[in-house]
Each structure stands twice: as C-alpha cells, then as structure tokens.
Amino acid sequence: MMRTLKFVFRTGIFTYRALFTWINPPDFVVVKLGVPFFLVLTFVLISDYGAALTGQDAQSYINFVVVGNALYVSTFNTLMGPMFFVFNERREGTLELLFSTPVNRPLLNIAKSAIHIGDGIFGIFIVLLYGVTLFGLRMSVLGSLYMIVIAFLSVISMMGFGLLFSGLALYYRQPHPIVSMMLSATMFFCGVTFPVGMLPQSLQYISKAIPLTHGIEAARLAVIEEFSPIPMLLARELIVGALLFCLGSFVLGYFEHLAKKSGKLVFF
C-alpha cells in the first residue's frame, strides 16, 4: 500500500514538473490567477449588464456565475491534464518506452492525475476568493467546509471524464482543438452560467452524464446553505466519475491498440 502511495506521489510530482518545468513563479501567477479572473469577470459583467437592463439586483446572478465558473476552472486541469500527459509523452518520444513497461496502466493514470487534482482544487478556491473579495459572494463557515468536500470530489470525478478523452491524443496529431472544444462543451452542458433546466430535455441527459454538473449544483446549494440534497448530488457525481474512469481506461487501451495497429503511436 505504502509502495503504491509512494508511486502515486512520485509520479504525480514528476508529471507536474515535466509539464511545467520551465514555468517560473511570475508566469504561474499569470496562468493561475489572471486567466480565471478574466474568465469569471466576463460572466460577472454580462450578468451585471443584463440585470441592469431588466432593473434587477445582479447579485444573485453574479453568485450563480462565480460559483459555476469556480468549479469550471478545474476543468483546465481535469480535461487538459490527462490529454496532455499522453500528448507530451508522444512529443518527447517517451511514449513507446512507457507503453513497453509492465506498469499498471490505470494506476499510472491515477498517479499522473494526482497533482492535477491538487492544482484543480487550488484553482477553484482562487475563483471563490475573487468572488468573496471582489464580487460580493458570501459564504458561511459550514458552506465553506462543504465547498472543500465538493471541490475535492468534483475534481476527482472530472479526472475520469478527462481520461475518457485522453485516448484521442494518442490518435490525433493535435489535442489542442479537441481540448478547446471539450472545454466549451463542458461550459454549455454543465450549467456553469445558467441552470441546466433551461436546456431541452434531450440535452439534459448529456448534462447529467458529466460529473461537474452535479458538483456545480451542490456548490450552489452550499452557498445558499441548503445542505440536505448535497450528499445525494455528490454520490451521483462520484458514481458517474467512477464509471467514466473505467470507461476512460478502456478507451485509452482501445486507442493504444488502434494507434499501434495503424503505426501511429509515435509517428503521425
């Protein structure tokens, strides 16, 4: 057990360092603080403008989009992380070596995700901090404690979702457009800026199949201190996340097979 934990920790640190080896603290601040700030500010200003036109108080809408975006920024880690660790191994020419080792592949995926989970949670709290300090968001102590649990479980569950698409990075030359499209689709389907109930019924099924939808709903309930439905939402989120993780590992294996068969593992 200890050996496995050590492996997970070591691989996680190693992956993260490899990904951000040449990033220095000022750049990290720009990426981690600047990007989420302007993202959430965009939607806060839209809410503000919309509410001003209709003569309403914008605060409830601002709270809505801040909480949604807080959870959403973790997808930068949960979607991009799994996809880029496949892509980067390929680009650096280490993918063949990795695939020829007898290492437990799902465990390796978990290990590589470990630091992204920590970073994703950090991102969520950065946006919530913006919300509290700049956009008038109010949270009780109990609500904040719930938020820690929600953030942790949402990021873990979304790693399964990210893994599902990481196999595509094995098969396609450029994962960037796929990631970009997935990020936009996640924002649309998960109710980041509007209630999922506004979507047509058929699209709501897709929303329910993405773990983040349940996490965002739980986080909004934590802010307005309606705690009773939260455990059920988190349970749903975890179940969907676990199913996606299993499916993701299978899909990754399938694309690995496909890439080997067509000789596209390393060459495009």
Partner 1 sequence: MNPYWISLRRGFISQLQHERADILWGIHAFVEPVFVAFVVIMLYRFVGTSSQDYATYVVFGSGFIGVWAMVLSFGGKSIFQERMQGTLELMFLTPVSLFTFSFGKILSSAATGLVSVAAVLAVGKFVLRLPIHIESPGLFLVSLVMTIVTLSVFGLVLASAYMLTRRVAYFMNLMQYMIYVLGGLLFPISVLPFWVRPISYSLSLTWALDAVRVSVSQNAWESSVFWMDAAMVTFLTAVYFVVAVVLYRYIRKIAVRDGKLSVY
Nearest to 79 by CA among 161, 171, 146, 197: 161
Q: Please give the Cα distance from 105 to 250 (Å, whole number).
A: 10
In terms of CB distance, is 101 or 202 closer to partner 1?
Answer: 202
Beta strand ranges found along the chain (DSSP E) = none
Q: How far is the CB of 103 from partner 1 (least distance, A)?
A: 30
Interface map 148-187 toward partner 1 (x if CB under 8 A): ------------------------xxx-xxx-xx--xx-x
Query: Do 231 and 169 touch, CB atoms closer than 8 A?
Result: no
Of the candidates 173, 177, 160, the one whose C-alpha atom is nearest the C-alpha of residue 250 is 160
Binding mask 182-221 for partner 1 (x = CB under 8 A): --xx-xx---xxxx--xx----------------------
Q: Would you say 25 or 102 has its CB closer to partner 1?
A: 25
The tokens describing 209, both together, are 């199949």
* Dihedral of the alpha carbons of 163, 167, 169, 171, in degrees to the nearest 10: -170
Asked if 23 is part of the footprint of partner 1 (rule: CB under 8 A), the reply reads yes
Identify whether the C-beta of residue 110 lies closer than 8 Å to the C-beta of residue 144: no
Q: Closer CB to partner 1, residue 27 or residue 92? A: 27
- Write down the least CB distance from residue 144 to partner 1, Å: 26
For partner 1, give the closer residue by CB, 2 or 57: 57
Among 25, 53, 141, 202, binds partner 1 (CB under 8 A): 53
SS3 label, residue 195: coil
Interaction between residue 65 and partner 1 (CB under 8 A): yes
* Shortest distance in whole angstroms from residue 64 CB to partner 1: 8
Q: 54, 147 in Cβ contact below 8 A?
A: no
Tokens of 254: 């399938």
**Between residues 149 and 183, which has the closer beta carbon with respect to partner 1?**
183
Which residue of 18, 41, 247, 266 would you call a contact of partner 1, by CB under 8 A? 41
User: Counting contacts by CB under 8 A, is residue 42 touching partner 1?
Assistant: yes
Residue 203 Cβ, how far from partner 1 at the closest point, in Å? Answer: 10
Asked if 31 is part of the footprint of partner 1 (rule: CB under 8 A), the reply reads yes
Cβ neighbors of 127 (< 8 A, separation 6 or more) are 36, 40, 66, 69, 70, 73
The pair phi, psi for residue 63, each rounded to 5°, is -55, -40
Binding status of residue 51 toward partner 1 by CB under 8 A: yes
- Interatomic CA distance for residues 148 and 186, integer angstroms: 22
Nearer to partner 1, 65 or 223 (CB): 65
Residues forming contacts to partner 1 in the complex (CB under 8 A) are 22-23, 27, 30-31, 34-35, 38-39, 41-43, 45-54, 56, 61, 64-65, 172-174, 176-178, 180-181, 184-185, 187-188, 192-195, 198-199
